Amino acid sequence: SGGGRLGEPVSGRPVTVADVKVVVLTGAGISAESGVPTFRDADGLWEGHRVEDVATPEGFHADPELVHQFYDERRAAVAEVEPNPAHVALAELEQLLGDDLTLVTQNIDDLHERAGSKRVVHMHGELLSALCARCGRRIPWEGPMVGAPPCGSCGKGDLRPDVVWFGEIPYHMDAIIDALVECELFVSIGTSGAVYPAAGFVQQARAFGARTLELNLVPSEGSRFFHEARHGRAGDLVPAWVA
């Protein structure tokens, strides 16, 4: 149906590549082929941990050590893996589109950056950042947070992972909404469509006139909201779409 390949008509009018404003939303599925476990697939990373124990403010309050350990393990694991062809294709797309591409990721890994993307909007935060729970200061973070000293800025606050847990407000929402309003093409890659507000972006983009495309291993929970869906591995689908 012609939906989504760059340079093809979007919203019924002819466009050139330089013309097209694109929003790409990525989720855990784009990092799966790099060896980062997803959240809700069979061998998902939440196994052994209840979501509410490790990804809520209440869980952190109840057992900060457990939550720090959980994120320490993920930080160490991500350091061992490499970006895959899907990340690389999106970095190439940024070269092509510049500011006309808004890459929004729900992922807290840095694989988009390591593939060469310069402007990544991390709506659920970043593994390589720590946040002072008292003064809100952010600091770059590489080592384990278990046993970390208090915040060097206020001297008192405990550091927490700089990530967005259930019940917290995702980051950069104003910029994301602006990009959804303006875009002519919205592409969702490797996300189950189970977690809001990201799961609602397709309907918002569509309401504002964008063409919408899903690239995912299987139909997501929101698959029916897209104009077009292609199912397969991100490492195959994303380079083919960008080419």
Footprint of ligand BJW (CB under 6 A)? 27-29, 32-33, 38-41, 55, 106, 108, 124, 163-170, 173, 190-192, 194-197, 216-218, 220, 233-234
d(CA 188, CA 32): 15
Specify the residue for token string 């939906």. Answer: 3
Smallest separation (angstroms) from ligand BJW to the CB of 31: 9
d(CA 197, CA 9): 28
Shorter beta-carbon distance to Zn ion: residue 62 or 139: 139
Specify the residue for token string 């990373």. Answer: 45
Distance separating the N- and C-terminal Cα atoms of the chain? 17
Amino acid sitting at position 201: F
Residues 106-165 binding Zn ion (CB under 5 A) are 132, 134-135, 137, 151, 153-154, 157
Q: Is 240 labelled a binding residue?
A: no
Smallest separation (angstroms) from ligand BJW to the CB of 168: 6
Shorter beta-carbon distance to Zn ion: residue 134 or 206: 134
Specify the residue for token string 């988009």. Answer: 112
79 part of the interface to Zn ion, by CB under 5 A: no
Strand 125-132 relative to strand 159-163, pairing: antiparallel
Shorter beta-carbon distance to ligand BJW: residue 163 or 184: 163
d(CA 202, CA 88): 23
Smallest separation (angstroms) from Zn ion to the CB of 150: 7
For residue 48, the tally of other CB atoms under 10 A from its CB is 7
Q: Which residues are catalytic?
A: 124
What would the two tokens of residue 203 be? 């309907």
d(CA 229, CA 214): 4
Indicate which of ligand BJW, Zn ion, none lies near residue 167 (CB less than 5 to 8 Å, by partner kind): ligand BJW
Q: Is 196 labelled a binding residue?
A: no
Shorter beta-carbon distance to ligand BJW: residue 43 or 99: 43
Indicate which of ligand BJW, Zn ion, none lies near residue 153 (CB less than 5 to 8 Å, by partner kind): Zn ion
Annotated binding residues for Zn(2+), written as ranges, equal 132, 135, 151, 154
